[in-house]
């Protein structure tokens, strides 16, 4: 295992220290907890929190700040934060109008965020939440009941964050989240695995000439392992599956995200985006925004994911384009 770390058991703690010091103009650590919060107060506005296992940076702390998340909670690498940790994030985000939680669909996350909600409500904090499930690769997988929540989650962060900044209510955020989530669809691929520092060995194995379609962000199994393909072939496969998952209409507009898994060069991500856009142009599908980069990674996994978001409401695009003050957006 080759990593630029000190002791494997200290990676999350030292990462949090480094993140807080680097971005101290925007965020701060909440005491000695596993919670990071934005410096911007957002008084009397709904606070938005998210979180999960570490190893997916810049998600989630990279999206803290004015116009996006209020607090983020760090679990151990690929491990859900505890209810107590999530509760601390809720308290940090509460500025008088309640707190909305964006939870990715993994069993531990859902259970622990729900328990934290109960704890907060017992203390008089109004809390609601949504569960993202944009990964259409497989219906059920390791750690999840139903589809996994992956890179599309950042669009929920962004749109709800803009709404909260405008003064939207907790109920408004819930209603919009329930409209956005069915319109997000993602499939990921892996060329090589990630290694959790405390385990010291790769989470799965792929031969040099192999790749896997439908891999999860924790290394969960996908739907097919094949010989390595070129970018055009990969784009045709996963875009084709995503397209079939929509009931397309002539006036549909889409946001397209190519997300790197951690070890994929931007050069390759742009090549892949070029191939996806060519397919969409051929199909006459209107793309109104494109994004390329590392938004939800899997430590040093080589691979990427493709997310499409169909814009059912013109306001969503305005909210995605609304300026924010965060470390990573």
pLDDT in tens, 114-167: 999 999 999 999 999 999 999 999 876 666 678 999 999 999 999 999 999 999
**Residue 249: inside a domain:** yes
**Residue 137: inside a domain:** yes
Percent of the chain with pLDDT over 70: 98
Which of the listed residues 129, 163, 182 is the one where a domain comes to its end?
A: 182
- CATH code of the domain in which 282 resides: 3.30.1180.20
**Residue 1: inside a domain:** no
Note whether 131 and 188 are same-domain residues: no
Q: What mean pLDDT do residues 195-224 have?
A: 95
Closest listed residue to residue 136, CA positions, set 117, 151, 119, 121: 151
Task: Assess whether 56 carries a catalytic annotation.
Answer: yes
Task: Assess whether 282 carries a catalytic annotation.
Answer: no
Note whether 198 and 172 are same-domain residues: no
Note whether 128 and 162 are same-domain residues: yes
**What per-residue confidence (pLDDT) applies to 244?**
96
At residue 149, the 3 state secondary structure works out as: coil
**Residue 145: inside a domain:** yes
**Residue 259: inside a domain:** yes
> Does the pLDDT at position 249 exceed 90?
no
Closest listed residue to residue 235, CA positions, set 274, 264, 293, 287: 274
Closest listed residue to residue 78, CA positions, set 190, 192, 197: 197
Note whether 292 and 152 are same-domain residues: no
Residues 6+ apart with CB under 8 A from 162: 67, 318, 319, 320, 322, 324
Name the active-site residue from 60, 157, 218, 282.
Answer: 218
Mean pLDDT score across all residues of the chain: 97
**What per-residue confidence (pLDDT) applies to 47?**
98
Range of the domain at 292: 183-321
Which of the listed residues 182, 207, 234 is the one where a domain comes to its end?
A: 182
**What per-residue confidence (pLDDT) applies to 141?**
63
Note whether 144 and 193 are same-domain residues: no
Q: What mean pLDDT do residues 268-296 have?
A: 98
Number of domains forming the structure of the chain: 2
- pTM, entire model: 0.97
- CATH code of the domain in which 105 resides: 3.40.50.10440
Which of the listed residues 122, 154, 182 is the one where a domain comes to its end?
A: 182
At 218, the pLDDT band (50, 70, 90 cuts) reads: very high
Note whether 170 and 204 are same-domain residues: no
Note whether 60 and 152 are same-domain residues: yes
Task: Summarize pLDDT for 30-48 with one digit per residue, the tens.
Answer: 999 999 999 999 999 999 9
CA angle 13, 15, 21 (to 5 degrees): 105
- CA–CA distance, 324 with 212 (Å, rounded to integer): 35
Note whether 56 and 114 are same-domain residues: yes
**Residue 82: inside a domain:** yes
**Residue 328: inside a domain:** no
Note whether 234 and 138 are same-domain residues: no
Name the active-site residue from 23, 56, 60, 157.
Answer: 56
Q: What mean pLDDT do residues 230-243 have?
A: 98
Note whether 144 and 197 are same-domain residues: no
Q: What mean pLDDT do residues 68-80 have?
A: 98
**Residue 66: inside a domain:** yes
**What per-residue confidence (pLDDT) applies to 145?**
77
Note whether 24 and 165 are same-domain residues: yes
Note whether 171 and 210 are same-domain residues: no
């Amino acid at each position: 295992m080759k990593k630029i770390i000190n002791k494997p058991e200290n990676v999350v703690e030292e990462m949090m220290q480094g993140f807080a010091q680097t971005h101290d103009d925007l965020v701060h650590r909440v005491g000695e907890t596993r919670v990071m919060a934005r410096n911007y107060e957002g008084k009397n506005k709904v606070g938005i929190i998210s979180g999960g296992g570490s190893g997916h940076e810049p998600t989630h702390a990279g999206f803290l700040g004015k116009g996006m998340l209020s607090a983020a909670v760090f679990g151990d690498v690929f491990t859900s934060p505890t209810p107590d940790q999530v509760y601390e994030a809720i308290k940090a985000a509460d500025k008088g109008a309640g707190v909305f939680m964006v939870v990715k669909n993994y069993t531990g996350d859902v259970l622990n965020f729900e328990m934290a909600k109960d704890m907060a409500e017992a203390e008089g904090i109004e809390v609601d939440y949504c569960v993202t499930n944009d990964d259409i690769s497989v219906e059920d997988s390791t750690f999840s009941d139903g589809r996994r929540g992956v890179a599309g989650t950042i669009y929920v962060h962004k749109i709800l964050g803009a709404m909260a900044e405008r003064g939207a209510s907790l109920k408004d955020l819930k209603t919009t989240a329930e409209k956005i989530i069915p319109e997000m669809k993602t499939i990921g691929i892996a060329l090589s695995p990630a290694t959790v520092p405390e385990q010291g060995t790769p989470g799965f194995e792929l031969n040099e000439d192999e790749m896997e379609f439908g891999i999860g962000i924790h290394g969960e199994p996908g739907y097919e392992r094949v010989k390595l393909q070129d970018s055009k072939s990969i784009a045709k496969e996963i875009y084709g599956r995503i397209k079939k998952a929509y009931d397309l209409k002539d006036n549909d507009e889409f946001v397209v995200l190519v997300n790197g898994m951690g070890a994929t060069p931007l050069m390759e991500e742009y090549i892949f985006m070029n191939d996806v856009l060519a397919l969409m142009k051929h199909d006459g599908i209107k793309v109104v925004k494109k994004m390329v980069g590392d938004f939800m990674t899997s430590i040093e996994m080589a691979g990427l994911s493709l997310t499409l978001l169909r814009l059912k409401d013109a306001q969503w695009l305005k909210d995605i384009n609304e300026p924010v003050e965060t470390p990573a957006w």
